[in-house]
Amino acid sequence: MSSQQATPRRLNRAFAAFFQRVKAGETPGYPRFKAAHRFDSVEWPKEGDGCRWRPDTRRVYLQGIGHVKATVPRQVEGRVKTIQVRRQGRRWMLILSCDNVPIRPLEPTRAAVGIDLGIASFATTSDGQHVPSPRYGRAAAARLRWAQQVLARKQRGSNNRGKARATLAARHRKIANQRRDFHHHAARVLVAHYDLLVVDARHTSDRCEACGHTAAENRSSQTVFSCRACGHTLNADEHAARNILRAGLARLAATPAA
């Protein structure tokens, strides 16, 4: 079965990376044994070999299991290449990797905008748009503490302890996936909407766009810019994004046309 072959491939990749680090003189970190409760995914490397996605019925066929109904949040596009089943706590997720996914490029706007990545907001543009930071750590801290307390009260070796451990692991993975998905989504939005030009961000947060006065004291707080020389005041992240836009336009103007 291709799914059974996938496990030795994982083992081979782990040891190949280990010996590569040894050869390079790095601290190798010997591959750790993965206990049953940490082995949470099964992969079929080739659709049609022991597995089959059936979009007409929204079911997936898995060899040795049969047809399983799947809840699909959006239409699957392209050609399904690999199928993976991953456990999250007591639930299972179906992950489809696809080739030949249609590309829908947007029409160019010929507009330029500066983008500042910050703490108060994940991203702020020079025209005043704010993408809020999701702050997953704060939102999930209470749920994690509760899951850890439940696990600590369970008797070692019991089935209930195993379930509690799975719940705790699922919460950790959920937080990690939320952070990853958010940042990947934000990056895809930026790449899809803009031709990116990275500029040197030094002093973009403390140089006044009105008079040019540069001082750390201009950034009076995390959210407010207030120039000590001329009194110009603006949202700190938006002000930085405006300076970033100016720096980008100046760099483009200084670049010879190809």
Name residue, tokens 């020079």.
Answer: 126
pLDDT at 56: 86
Using alpha carbons, select from 116, 130, 123 the residue that is nearest to residue 239.
Answer: 116
For 44, phi and psi rounded to 5 degrees? -110, 110
Q: Does position 37 have pLDDT exceeding 80, yes or no?
A: no
pLDDT at 217: 92
pLDDT > 70: percent of the chain: 81
C-alpha span between 171 and 126 (Å, rounded): 36
C-alpha span between 215 and 37 (Å, rounded): 54
Total length of the chain = 258
C-alpha span between 63 and 1 (Å, rounded): 8
Name the packing angle between helices 159-193 and 136-153 (round to 10°). 170
Question: What's the pLDDT band for 170 if we cut at 50, 70, 90?
Answer: confident
Using alpha carbons, select from 41, 62, 65 the residue that is nearest to residue 53.
Answer: 62
Question: What's the pLDDT band for 152 if we cut at 50, 70, 90?
Answer: confident
The 3-class SS string of 197-248 reads CCCCCCCCCCECCCCCCECHHHCCCCCEEECCCCCCEEEHHHHHHHHHHHHH
What integer is the mean pLDDT of 86-95?
80
Q: Does position 180 have pLDDT exceeding 70, yes or no?
A: no
Tens digit of each residue's pLDDT (9 = 90 or more) over 50-90: 888 998 888 999 888 889 998 888 888 888 988 888 877 67
Q: Does position 38 have pLDDT exceeding 70, yes or no?
A: no
Residue 163 burial class via C-beta count within 10 angstroms: exposed 0-12, middle 13-18, buried 19 and up: middle
What integer is the mean pLDDT of 133-158?
71
Question: What's the pLDDT band for 230 if we cut at 50, 70, 90?
Answer: very high
